[in-house]
A and B are shown apart, each in its own frame.
Chain A
Amino acid sequence: MEQLKTIGRELALSSQVGWGSSKEFLDLVKAIGEAKSKAEEERIIIADIELLRKKIGEPDVPRRKMKEYIIRLVYVEMLGHDASFGYIHAVKMTHDDSLLLKRTGYLATTLFLNEDHSLIILIINTIQKDLRSDNYLVCCAALTAVCRLINEETIPAVLPQIVDLLSHQKEAVRKKAVMALDRFYQRSPSLVSHLIPEIRQKLCDRDPSVMSAALCALFDMITAESEPFKNLTGSLVSILKQVVEHRLPKLYDYHRTPAPFIQIKLLKILALLGSGDKHTSENMYNVLGQILTKGDPSTNIGNAILYECVSTLSAIYPNQKLLQHAAELTAKFLKSENHNSKYMGIDALGRLIKINPECAEDHQLAVIDCLEDPDDTLKRKTLDLLYKMTKSSNVDVIVDRMIGYMRTISDAHYKTDISSRIIELAERYAPSNHWFIQTMNQVFEFAGDLVPAKVAHDLMRLIAEGAGGEDEDADNQLRSSAVESYLQVLGEPKLPSVLLQVICWVLGEYGTADGSHSADYIIGKLCDVAEAHPGDNTVKGYAITAITKICAFEKGAGRKVGLTSECRSLIEELSTSHSTNLQQRAYELQALLGLNDETVATVMPMDASCEDIEVDKSLAFLNAFVKSALEKGARPYLSESERLSIGGITTLASSNNQNDLSHSLRFEAYERPQLPVPSLSSFQPTVVREFEDQRTTNNNLRATYAGHSTSMTDTQLVNTEAASLRLDGIQKKWGRPTYNNTPASSTSSADRGRSAAGNSPAEFSKDEPVESSLKSAVESRYVTSRKQRPEISEEKQKLAASLFGGTFPKSQSSSRSSGSTGKVSKSSHSRSQAPHIGANEQSAQMRSANSSTSIDKGHEKSLPVSQNLATPDLLDLGDGDSAGPSSDPFKQLEGLLEVPSTAMPSKPVIPQQVPDLLSLYESTPSSGSPSINLIG
Chain B
Amino acid sequence: MINAVLVMNTQGKPRLTKFYKQVPVEKQQEIIRAIYAVLSSRGENYCNFADASNISGSDNKLVYKHFATLYFIFVVDGAESELAILDLIQVFVETLDRIFKNVCELDIVYNFNKVHTVLDEIVMGGQVVETNSADVMKAVQDIFKLERAV
Contacts and interface: CB of A to CB of B under 8 A. Distances in A.
Most-contacted residue by chain A among B14, B125, B134 (CB, 10 A): B125
A342 B124 contact: no
A26 B16 CA distance: 16
Question: Chain A: interface secondary structure?
Answer: helix
A571 interface: no
A775 to B, nearest CB: 57
Contacts of A308: 81, 84
Interface in B100-129: 104-107, 109-114, 116-117, 120, 124-129
B54 A411 contact: yes
A148 B43 CA distance: 35
B17 to A, nearest CB: 5
B66 interface: no
Interface residues of A, number: 81
Nearest to B11: A3
Interface string B12-41: 011011101010111011001000000001
Contacts of A175: 129-130
Contacts of B50: 376-377
A898 interface: no
Interface residues of B, number: 68
A260 B87 contact: yes
A180 B125 contact: yes
A252 B132 contact: yes
B67 to A, nearest CB: 15
Nearest to A135: B146
Nearest to B49: A377
Contacts of B124: 143-144, 147, 176, 179
A71 B113 contact: yes
A29 interface: yes
A414 B28 CA distance: 21
Interface in A269-307: 300-301, 303-304, 307
Given A179-B124, A264-B84, A100 B134 contact: no
Given A14-B107, A340-B83, A107 B116 contact: yes
Contact of B25 (A25, A77, A176, A255): A77
Interface in A211-239: 212-213, 216, 219, 223
A275 to B, nearest CB: 14
Contacts of B106: 7, 10-11, 13-14
Contact of B47 (A13, A213, A343): A343
A137 interface: yes
A304 B82 CA distance: 8
Most-contacted residue by chain A among B84, B87, B105 (CB, 10 A): B84
A903 B1 CA distance: 30
A3 B106 CA distance: 12
A300 B83 contact: yes
Interface in A100-157: 100, 103-104, 107, 111, 114-116, 135, 137, 140, 143-144, 147-148
A803 interface: no
A179 B20 CA distance: 13
Nearest to B6: A78
Contacts of A254: 87, 91, 131-132
A164 interface: no
Given A300-B87, A376-B50, A115 B22 contact: yes
A21 B111 contact: yes
Given A10-B104, A100-B150, A304-B81, A251 B132 contact: yes
A144 B130 CA distance: 13
A256 to B, nearest CB: 13
Interface in A27-41: 29, 33
Contact of A209 (B110, B130, B143): B130
B97 to A, nearest CB: 15
A413 B18 contact: no
B86 A340 contact: yes
A685 interface: no
B129 A179 contact: yes
B98 interface: no
A223 B117 CA distance: 30
A912 B83 CA distance: 40
A137 B104 contact: no
A303 B83 contact: yes
Most-contacted residue by chain A among B47, B69, B105 (CB, 10 A): B47
A29 B109 contact: yes
Nearest to B87: A301
B79 A219 contact: yes
Contacts of A104: 113
B129 A304 contact: no
A137 B88 CA distance: 23
Contacts of A50: none
Contacts of B87: 254-255, 260, 300-301, 304
Interface string A299-334: 011011001100000000000000000000000000
Interface string A153-192: 0000000000000000000100110011011001000000
A616 B80 CA distance: 60
Contacts of A10: 104-106
A832 to B, nearest CB: 31
Given A11-B106, A148-B20, A414-B54, A375 B42 contact: yes
Given A300-B87, A307-B83, A380-B51, A29 B110 contact: yes
Most-contacted residue by chain B among A3, A255, A308, A340 (CB, 10 A): A340
A340 B49 contact: yes
B32 to A, nearest CB: 8
Given A107-B116, A176-B129, A261 B84 contact: yes
Interface string A69-103: 00100110111101000000000000000111001
A212 B129 CA distance: 8
A19 interface: yes
B83 A213 contact: no
Most-contacted residue by chain A among B50, B69, B126 (CB, 10 A): B126
Given A10-B104, A261-B131, A344 B110 contact: no
Nearest to B33: A80
Contacts of B104: 10
Most-contacted residue by chain A among B51, B135, B142 (CB, 10 A): B51
A378 interface: yes
A732 interface: no
Contacts of A260: 84, 87, 131
A374 interface: yes
Contact of A80 (B25, B130, B147): B25
Contacts of B143: 99, 103, 137
B53 A413 contact: yes
A71 B53 CA distance: 32
Given A340-B83, A377-B50, A179 B127 contact: yes
Interface string A1-31: 0010001001101100001010001100100
A414 B50 CA distance: 13
A19 B111 contact: yes
A378 B47 contact: yes
26 contacts: A3-B69, A10-B105, A11-B106, A14-B110, A33-B109, A71-B112, A74-B112, A74-B113, A75-B112, A78-B17, A98-B147, A115-B22, A148-B125, A180-B125, A209-B132, A255-B87, A261-B128, A300-B83, A300-B86, A339-B45, A339-B47, A375-B47, A377-B46, A377-B50, A413-B53, A413-B54
Given A75-B112, A179-B124, 9 more contacts: A10-B105, A29-B109, A99-B147, A99-B150, A111-B116, A175-B130, A176-B129, A300-B83, A377-B42
In the A-B complex, list the 7 residue pairs whose CB atoms are closest, starting with the nearest. Answer: A304-B83, A147-B125, A413-B54, A339-B47, A100-B147, A183-B125, A375-B46
Interface of A: 3, 7, 10-11, 13-14, 19, 21, 25-26, 29, 33, 71, 74-75, 77-80, 82, 98-100, 103-104, 107, 111, 114-116, 135, 137, 140, 143-144, 147-148, 172, 175-176, 179-180, 182-183, 186, 209, 212-213, 216, 219, 223, 251-252, 254-255, 260-261, 264, 268, 300-301, 303-304, 307-308, 338-340, 342-344, 374-378, 380, 411, 413-414, 417
